[in-house]
């Protein structure tokens, strides 16, 4: 029996149609860093919109995709030629995980994605002095509009504690590897507090920094760095209009140590005025150092009590204080470890929740 040529062609087309459809569904597209569906939170330099650059710990990038494939493109400064940054990756409601970049130009795949929609967070875990990251874009089947994010905003000013230094011993224990191997800004008390309160976060923190005196041969103090994007270089002006926090916490004094009381109080009050000039409506919370020993803790409690009283007397009632209940220092070099950061966040989030009626 003869089969017409038209029938054969029709059958062939029907057999290949599913393959063609699947191929179309699996097309991977590149979405550049300036795509409005990609959001950035923290101190980011947008001079080159194709390569937004950021140094500070805790800066995070968020976006939503559809499909089982997602590649993220990032450049790492690789400062000093050896120091690669660590990232924290969070997908949907799953537990976040930590990775280290290996190259100057990196493309890494988000693993184990199921079909459907996914919301992804990429957070810089390492500090300013480890170098910058440049976010180049995302490869995915489809970039989507993300669900509405938190409208609350918190900023955390501080030193290495706030950065999450020495906290993460999950892969490399204290005393092994290099300094940045135990950095984890994403799981530090600030971002953990913010997530508990359904808020955005920004870390204005730099290891070794003080209010009146910094350690480790650092020539600057926080009042000098407060308006900068690059903390370790004390450079590149930050535009405060980009992020106006509802709450700002100040965790300084660990690197100052016990100082002349009048000098320290005057400097602290002056810094609060500097903060207030940029954030007229922000609730400022002065907190003690979570890793302070008993002598420094007592000094800080006395100083902060006097500072808040002085600020109130000057007419600013939107400043308060919180003293941590215990010392947290089970991490590297007496810093809090990850479990303790969670405890610190529990204390602080309970206080802010009550303060703001959140």
Question: 258-308: per-residue pLDDT in tens?
Answer: 999 999 999 999 999 999 999 999 999 999 999 999 999 999 999 999 999
Q: Quick check: helix, strand or coil at residue 217?
A: coil
Greatest alpha-carbon pair distance for the chain in Å reads 106
Question: 200-245: per-residue pLDDT in tens?
Answer: 999 999 999 999 999 999 999 999 999 999 999 999 999 999 999 9
Q: What is the 3-state secondary structure (H, E, C) of 107-119?
A: EEECCCCCCCEEE
Strand partners, 201: 154
Chain length of the chain: 358
CA dihedral 171, 181, 165, 279 (to 10 degrees): -110
Is residue 14 within 8 Å of 121, Cβ to Cβ? no
Report pTM: 0.92
Mean pLDDT by 10 residues, the chain (358 residues): 42 39 67 98 98 98 97 96 92 97 96 96 97 98 96 98 97 93 98 98 98 96 98 97 98 97 98 98 98 98 98 98 98 97 98 98
User: How many H helices and E strands in the chain?
Assistant: 7, 17
Q: How much helix, strand and coil, in percent to the nearest 5, is found in the chain? A: 30, 25, 40
CA distance 79 to 134: 13
């Amino acid at each position: 029996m003869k089969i017409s040529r038209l029938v054969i062609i029709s059958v062939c087309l029907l057999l290949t149609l599913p393959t063609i459809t699947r191929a179309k569904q699996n097309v991977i597209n590149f979405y550049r860093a300036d795509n409005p569906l990609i959001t950035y939170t923290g101190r980011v330099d947008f001079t080159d919109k194709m390569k937004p650059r950021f140094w500070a710990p805790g800066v995070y990038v968020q976006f939503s995709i559809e499909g089982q494939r997602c590649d993220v493109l990032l450049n790492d400064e690789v400062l000093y030629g050896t120091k690669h940054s660590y990232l924290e990756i969070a997908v949907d409601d799953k537990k976040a995980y930590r990775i280290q970049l290996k190259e100057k130009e990196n493309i890494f795949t988000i693993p184990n994605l199921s079909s459907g929609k996914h919301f992804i967070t990429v957070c810089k875990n390492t500090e300013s002095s480890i170098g910058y990251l440049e976010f180049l874009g995302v490869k995915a089947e489809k970039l989507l509009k993300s669900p509405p994010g938190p409208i609350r905003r918190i900023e955390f000013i501080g030193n290495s504690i706030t950065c999450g230094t020495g906290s993460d011993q999950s892969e490399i224990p204290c005393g092994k590897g290099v300094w940045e191997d135990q950095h984890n800004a994403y799981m530090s008390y600030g971002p953990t507090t913010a997530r508990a309160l359904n808020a955005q976060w920004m870390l204005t923190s730099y290891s070794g920094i003080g209010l009146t005196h910094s350690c480790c041969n650092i020539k600057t103090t926080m009042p000098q760095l407060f308006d900068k994007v690059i903390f370790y270089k004390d450079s590149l002006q930050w535009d405060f209009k980009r992020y106006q926090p509802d709450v700002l916490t100040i965790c300084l004094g660990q690197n100052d140590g016990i100082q002349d009381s009048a000098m320290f109080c005057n400097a602290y009050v002056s810094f609060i005025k500097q903060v207030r000039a940029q954030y007229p409506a922000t609730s400022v919370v002065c907190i003690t150092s979570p890793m302070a020993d008993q002598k420094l803790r007592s000094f800080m409690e006395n100083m902060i009590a006097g500072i808040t009283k002085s600020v109130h007397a000057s007419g600013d009632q939107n400043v308060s204080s919180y003293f941590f209940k215990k010392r947290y220092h089970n991490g590297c070099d007496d810093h809090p470890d990850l479990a303790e950061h969670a405890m610190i966040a529990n204390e602080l989030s309970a206080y802010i929740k009550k303060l703001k009626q959140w």
